[in-house]
Amino acid sequence: MRIAVIGGDGTGPEVVAEGLKVLKAVAQKAGFEYTLKNLDISGDRYLAQGGDPNKQTIPVIYDEEIAELRTFDAIYLGAVGHPKIAPGILEKGVLLRLRFELDQYINLRPVKLYPGVDTPLKDKGPADIDFVVVRENTEGIYTGMGGVQYKGSPAEVSTQINCTTRFGAERAIRYAFDLCRRRNSKKKMLTLVHKTNVLTFAGDTWFRAFHEIGAKDYPDIKRDYNHVDACCMWFVKNPEFYDVIVTDNIFGDIITDLAAVIQGGLGVAAGGNINPKGVSMYEPMGGSAPKYAGQNVINPMAAIGALGMLLRETGNNKGDRKLVTAGERVEAAIIATTPKMKSQAAGKMGFSTTQVGDLVVSAL
Ligand code: IPM
Ligand code: MN
């Protein structure tokens, strides 16, 4: 397996280093080989090369790098985000560009409360918080379609188009049904989250696709629907209700941040940008956290979780049992480690960044 590593900015490289420590250990145990290639794609490089911090003047990722990234089995990403660079430049230039160019049409976000991890939800524990959000990752309002006219005048008008295709909705829905089928849960229920009462065009495309595909090809999976606002309420009141959720790009963006908080915060939440037949990219959900950089205090658990996902999902997509099992072993080691930690917050873990990595390795 060839893995491209993009440590990125801030604490990204530190947490990725712990994930790679765990990778080395699990590869020895599970008996597979891999090679790593580091790519310096970061805000620091952009500035060092003379990029303007206020508007994009040079590429943050080069065409040759995208071409090279296509040749790997997976990408392991730390964080993109730099305090000196205006919002949007790195997000659009790196993260969104890779999602679109590599057609990573699924954003996969497991939401699982690990033992010993604090949730802000009263009276809820690991048995209650264990579901997966499948977010469509290449369409909706993220395509950049739309524009602004008469900018700066009282007549200013802007549009931001919700580009929804049957093709895009369908492939996300099918992925989610398949995941629901193979997932180890008794509920076997897929919930569509949208806003069909207001988004009567885009919502209807999703709704009909969901029920048509479900009725025809997945009769064994129960179908359920939530409006996105109600879904936010249920995440807090009854998270145990959910099994797998499928939703559009922006709704998925928003509900997965709420989901991250109920699973213990950004120190533990991991995600994948997935093209099941292409090159997928796995990352911890916390940003570059510049104020903690270089202090050995940031929580690497989300990055270790992302590494576990990388192994499991690469295995799933390539039909490689050994990798799937290796990913499961990483998760089991995380579950053995979280109860030993005082907190999942940076600087309050009772251990340093590198010590947490060592704990996971010894649990393996
Ligand atoms: C995420 C992030 C990105 C998104 C930003 C950084 C563009 O919030 O991965 O959820 O909105 O998708
Ligand atoms: Mn987000």
- Alpha-carbon distance of 113 to 296, in angstroms, equals 24
SS3 79: strand
SS3 53: coil
What's the half-sphere exposure (Cβ side, CA atoms, 13 Å) at 107? 26
Q: What is the DSSP letter of 124?
A: -
Q: What is the pLDDT of residue 105?
A: 98
Q: What is the pLDDT of residue 250?
A: 98
Q: What is the pLDDT of residue 163?
A: 98
The DSSP element (H or E) to which 10 belongs, if any, is none
- Return the ligand 1 atom nearest residue 95 CA: 7
Virtual CA dihedral for 123, 336, 261, 129, nearest 10 degrees? -50
- Return the ligand 1 atom nearest residue 107 CA: 9
Q: What is the pLDDT of residue 162?
A: 98
- Alpha-carbon distance of 40 to 353, in angstroms, equals 22
Q: What is the pLDDT of residue 236?
A: 98
Q: What is the pLDDT of residue 193?
A: 99
In the beta sheet, which residues pair with residue 74?
A: 3, 280
Angle at 315 between CA 361 and CA 339, to 5 degrees: 30
- Return the ligand 1 atom nearest residue 256 CA: 10
Which of 77, 91, 247 should be mutated for ligand 1, with most atoms under 8 A from CB? 91
Can you state the percent helix, strand and coil of the chain, rounding each to 5? Answer: 45, 20, 40
Kindly report the protein residue whose alpha carbon is nearest to atom 1 of ligand 1: 253
Q: Distance, CA 253 to ligand 1 centroid (Å)?
A: 6
Q: What is the pLDDT of residue 72?
A: 98
- The two three-digit tokens of residue 339, written as one number: 């109860």
SS3 135: strand
Q: Distance, CA 212 to ligand 2 centroid (Å)?
A: 29
User: Does residue 89 have its Cβ closer than 6 Å to ligand 1?
Assistant: no
Q: Distance, CA 360 to ligand 1 centroid (Å)?
A: 28
User: Does residue 91 have its Cβ closer than 6 Å to ligand 1?
Assistant: yes
Kindly report the protein residue whose alpha carbon is nearest to atom 4 of ligand 1: 253
pTM of the entire structure? Answer: 0.97
Q: What is the pLDDT of residue 305?
A: 98
- Alpha-carbon distance of 11 to 43, in angstroms, equals 13
Each residue's pLDDT expressed in tens, for the chain with a length of 364 residues: 999 999 999 999 999 999 999 999 999 999 999 999 999 999 999 999 999 999 999 999 999 999 999 999 999 999 999 999 999 999 999 999 999 999 999 999 999 999 999 999 999 999 999 999 999 999 999 999 999 999 999 999 999 999 999 999 999 999 999 999 999 899 999 999 999 999 999 999 999 999 999 999 999 999 999 999 999 999 999 999 999 999 999 999 999 999 999 999 999 999 999 999 999 999 999 989 999 999 999 999 999 999 999 999 999 999 999 999 999 999 999 999 999 999 999 999 999 999 999 999 999 9
- Residues comprising the chain, all counted: 364
- Alpha-carbon distance of 293 to 161, in angstroms, equals 37
- The two three-digit tokens of residue 15, written as one number: 């947490």
φ and ψ at 140, to 5 degrees? 65, -140
- Alpha-carbon distance of 109 to 245, in angstroms, equals 10
